[in-house]
Structure 1
Amino acid sequence: MAKTLSEIELTDHHKLFLVKDGGALGPLLQLLSHDNLGMKTVAVKALKNLSSLPQNGLQMIKEGALGPLFDILYRHSLSSPSLREQVAVVIMHLAKSTNTPATDHEQISLLESNEDIFKLFSLISFTGPDIQRNILEAFCAMCRSSSGPDIRAKLRQLPAVQVLVQLCEINNQTVRVRSSAVKLFYCLTVDGDDISFQDHVGQRCIQTLLKIINTSTDEEESNAAMGIISNLPNNIQITQWLLDSGALDTIFAFITDGNQNALNKKHGIEDAAKALCRFTVATNKEWQRKVAESGFIRVLVLLLVSGTPLTKQYAAVSLKQFSESSASMSQPLKKTIAFICCFASSETGCQVHRGICKVESSFCILEANAVDPLVRILEDGDIGACEASLDALLTLIDNERLQSGSKVLDKVNAIPPIIKLLSSTSTKLQEKALDALERIFRLPEMKQRYATLAQMPIVDITQRGSSGIRSMAAKVLAQLNVLGEQSSYF
């Protein structure tokens, strides 16, 4: 009977019936402890067949299947290599079952203690490719479950990152093992700190990850490798290694390969846009120049239009960082005295920076036609994207650019959406909008044009907002002559 269950093709309906109503699970679990190796083997194969259905996997965990399965996996005297391979598949199925919607309201953990985690992970270094791959996939599933944060933290306390880096770098490693190792490595980078990775990630590891992105036919693997790149510690050494290893070309090809709308690829592009942010910081204009010369600024503008909210957010962050450098990179206009006397200048320069701006040399977001899509994002509703876009637009009204930048924002109709952000559920976004309006309303013509539109939302903040933001709102109302300078709101 067990042999039949191990070999027969079953529908999901029949698998569920056999476990839930057919009474098959109890006898199969008993057979796992049978002295006869052949009996153990057919029982494990039957469980492998039934456990591919997540509901059944959860039931097996609840009824204590893990104990005898781990006994077979760890105690070689009770099993054979092929049997342990089958057990590893069952454990992988059980791990994946913990990610099903049925577990949303009950936390079901595959591994309870640090010792359980250590014992299972240690097998990766002492087993063949098939067992390695299934254990890696089991840990991937556990890292994505409701208990994922705890599992990830415990793995980072082990030498897990070091083991995974080695599995990625070994040239003779099977592709499927490497792929599973990369995916688990990515899981561990999601919420880890710099200390967890900086001792194990060197230039060789970075070159390996970039090679995987460039050559892998497994889209999930290449996405995971890009995710690792995006989450690496943001320090000068790693950034330089990335540049030296050709990361910009890899990221550019990844974003522009023409398959941006695939669901899996969208997540990868989010990570690619995030990875790019480390190269666009205003504190290193040489890095910015390399990114701009690679053609990224126009790509970032396209991502503002077509990307997911998170992609738009990261694209806006990079454009903001570029724009912070534009004033110092814009070339002054050159006019001779004779030219000024005899002719009207045909070269008026950038409306904001008053010099000659080019996308690749001065990183000007106005020249790159980024301002309109940034304004549209303000009305998208995603808080992260709105905040990043507003930050980018505010670089146009910094310091001496206040008047010229405000005129540009007025021309593209950016000020009404900024005023609408005063009603946002995000206090931080309200603060940024108030900061923008406080600057803009220093100009009498802007105050006259938009005071009526802004007055009521600002008054609402003085009545409903937190103490800090009420004071900011009151100062803007004083600019609009709605409150006196001695108001109790200050």
Structure 2
Amino acid sequence: MKENGAIQLLLPFFTERDTQIRTGALRLVYTLTKDLQEELMEQIGYEHVHVVANVVSSLTSSECEKVAALGILSNLPVSDGKVTYILKNANLLPLMISILSLRTENSNSTPTTVWLAESIAAILVRFTVPTDKRLQHYSVENGVIPVLLKLLSRSSETAKRYSALCLTQLSQNSLSLSKSRKLKWFCMPPSVDAFCSVHDGYCSVKNTFCLVKAGAVIPLIRILEGTERGADEAVLSCLSTLLQDEIWENGCNFLARTSAVHAVIRVLTHGSLKSREKALWILERVFRVEAHREQYGESAQVLLIDLAQNGDPMLAPSVAKLLAQLELLQDQSSYF
């Protein structure tokens, strides 16, 4: 159907008067656009992005129409800045945040509400890209962070993954946005509560998108401690933003204080290859600190030795580095 131009044939029905026909067309286009990504704009065109955005914001659109329209928008390539411009101008961000805020307060979960949360979470990724700090500020001013935190606790694995990705993108800029405590303050200095021990400066949720000040770390850890593994990679990427080169030791100490290290070690047992890679990267930084090696080394070493002997060869260099840090690699041949 994709190859035969089905999408273009369905687009005119987005403005059909009959609700059932409109909804059917939107649902079918959503299904057809799931895996297109970069080629998608060639088939839909920017004029129909406007149309789909209007479906979401229209007071006369049914819930089914809105959910299908949001699904289509979630499939559009994040890298396309013109799409973001259209959605921003349509005032879609505050509307989506309002919808999610209401839905997350309601404990009833249905396939429709799950689809809705996943679609909006995916769209929020484009509003939090790290290359556009102005857009990030716009998103945060509209309340995106509280909604993302709710999604971490009350949504599907897919929505949690997108939520963690959004928080990762925001956190990537926290260090550059934080205010150094070494600066001279000509007006009133920030309060003691504003100081962030990780970024070694003054942080806030609204101005620096700080994970620590937002209280995001505990919900992220709970995902790693849970039974589902679909969001692990995104969660570990998010925690890794607290371990950037300039602040890695502060970040490691914070992760230790919040019991995150045990949760990261746990990923070595159950995680995917990419999740394990990210967990090993975090542990390499944690184990640079002698106190953390002493506290967590014993619980990690059995899993590391098992990974060395039975794990994916791609992980071998990282595992070897950690075993060396723990002084367990006197003879590499015994493990590899």
TM-score, reference length from structure 1: 0.63
Residue identity matched to 1:221: E
Asked if the contact 1:260/1:266 (under 8 Å) is kept, the reply is no
Using the TM superposition, give the Cα deviation of residue 216 of structure 1 relative to its aligned residue in structure 2, in angstroms.
Answer: 4.8
TM-aligned CA distance change 1:265 to 1:348, over 3 Å: closer
The corresponding residue for 1:212 is: 55
The corresponding residue for 1:122 is: none
1:286 aligned to which of 134, 146, 150: 134
Structure 1: how far apart are the matches of 2:77 and 2:171?
24
The corresponding residue for 1:254 is: 99
1:269 aligned to 2:117? Answer: yes
1:413 aligned to 2:256? Answer: no
Residue identity matched to 1:249: P
Structure 2: how far apart are the matches of 1:287 and 1:346?
29
Structure 2: how far apart are the matches of 1:373 and 1:425?
18
1:317 aligned to 2:162? Answer: no
1:237 aligned to 2:82? Answer: yes
**Unaligned stretches of 5+ in structure 2?**
186-190
Using the TM superposition, give the Cα deviation of residue 372 of structure 1 relative to its aligned residue in structure 2, in angstroms.
Answer: 0.5
Using the TM superposition, give the Cα deviation of residue 334 of structure 1 relative to its aligned residue in structure 2, in angstroms.
Answer: 5.7
Asked if the contact 1:329/1:361 (under 8 Å) is kept, the reply is yes
The corresponding residue for 2:238 is: 392
Residue identity matched to 2:93: L
The corresponding residue for 1:141 is: none
Structure 1: how far apart are the matches of 2:192 and 2:220?
29
The corresponding residue for 2:195 is: 349
User: Counterpart of 1:384 in 2: which secondary structure?
Assistant: coil
Asked if the contact 1:463/1:470 (under 8 Å) is kept, the reply is no
User: Equivalent residues in 2 for 1:79-478 (5 A)?
Assistant: 155-169=1-15, 173-202=17-46, 204-214=47-57, 215-216=59-60, 218-234=62-78, 235-258=80-103, 259=106, 261-263=108-110, 264-333=112-181, 346=192, 349-478=195-324
Structure 1: how far apart are the matches of 2:287 and 2:161?
27
Question: Which structure would you say has the larger RCO, counting Cα contacts within 8 Å and 6 or more residues apart?
Answer: 2
**Unaligned stretches of 5+ in structure 1?**
1-154, 338-344
Asked if the contact 2:37/2:76 (under 8 Å) is kept, the reply is no
More off after superposition, 277-286 vs 314-323: 277-286
The corresponding residue for 1:124 is: none
Asked if the contact 1:190/1:231 (under 8 Å) is kept, the reply is yes
Residue correspondences, number? 325
Residue identity matched to 1:239: T
TM-aligned CA distance change 1:336 to 1:279, over 3 Å: closer
Residue identity matched to 2:115: H
Asked if the contact 2:194/2:204 (under 8 Å) is kept, the reply is no
Structure 2: how far apart are the matches of 1:479 and 1:416?
17
Using the TM superposition, give the Cα deviation of residue 199 of structure 1 relative to its aligned residue in structure 2, in angstroms.
Answer: 4.5
The superposition leaves residues 402-434 of structure 1 with CA deviations (integer Å, 9 ceiling, x where unpaired) of 111111101110001111111125122111111
Asked if the contact 1:383/1:429 (under 8 Å) is kept, the reply is no
TM-aligned CA distance change 1:363 to 1:425, over 3 Å: closer
TM-aligned CA distance change 1:335 to 1:226, over 3 Å: closer
Aligned-CA RMSD value: 2.0
The corresponding residue for 2:188 is: none
Asked if the contact 2:7/2:43 (under 8 Å) is kept, the reply is no
Residue identity matched to 2:56: I
TM-score, reference length from structure 2: 0.91
Structure 2: how far apart are the matches of 1:396 and 1:313?
18
Structure 2: how far apart are the matches of 1:425 and 1:390?
11
Asked if the contact 2:304/2:323 (under 8 Å) is kept, the reply is yes
Asked if the contact 2:194/2:203 (under 8 Å) is kept, the reply is no
Task: Give percent identity, aligned residues only.
Answer: 34
TM-aligned CA distance change 1:466 to 1:303, over 3 Å: same
Structure 1: how far apart are the matches of 2:193 and 2:19?
58
Asked if the contact 1:239/1:278 (under 8 Å) is kept, the reply is yes
User: Counterpart of 2:318 in 1: which secondary structure?
Assistant: helix
Structure 2: how far apart are the matches of 1:226 and 1:383?
26
Structure 2: how far apart are the matches of 1:231 and 1:335?
44
Using the TM superposition, give the Cα deviation of residue 462 of structure 1 relative to its aligned residue in structure 2, in angstroms.
Answer: 0.4
Structure 1: how far apart are the matches of 2:219 and 2:193?
26
Using the TM superposition, give the Cα deviation of residue 382 of structure 1 relative to its aligned residue in structure 2, in angstroms.
Answer: 2.4
Residue identity matched to 1:209: V
User: Counterpart of 2:41 in 1: which secondary structure?
Assistant: helix
Using the TM superposition, give the Cα deviation of residue 322 of structure 1 relative to its aligned residue in structure 2, in angstroms.
Answer: 0.6
TM-aligned CA distance change 1:347 to 1:292, over 3 Å: closer
Using the TM superposition, give the Cα deviation of residue 243 of structure 1 relative to its aligned residue in structure 2, in angstroms.
Answer: 1.3
Structure possessing the higher radius of gyration over alpha carbons = 1
The superposition leaves residues 457-483 of structure 1 with CA deviations (integer Å, 9 ceiling, x where unpaired) of 000000101222123211100010000
Residue identity matched to 1:459: I
Structure 1: how far apart are the matches of 2:282 and 2:182?
33
Using the TM superposition, give the Cα deviation of residue 193 of structure 1 relative to its aligned residue in structure 2, in angstroms.
Answer: 3.7
User: Counterpart of 2:32 in 1: which secondary structure?
Assistant: helix
Structure 2: how far apart are the matches of 1:249 and 1:335?
35
Using the TM superposition, give the Cα deviation of residue 354 of structure 1 relative to its aligned residue in structure 2, in angstroms.
Answer: 1.4
The superposition leaves residues 203-252 of structure 1 with CA deviations (integer Å, 9 ceiling, x where unpaired) of x4223222322335532221111100100122112112111221212211
Asked if the contact 1:380/1:386 (under 8 Å) is kept, the reply is no
Using the TM superposition, give the Cα deviation of residue 332 of structure 1 relative to its aligned residue in structure 2, in angstroms.
Answer: 2.1
The corresponding residue for 1:113 is: none
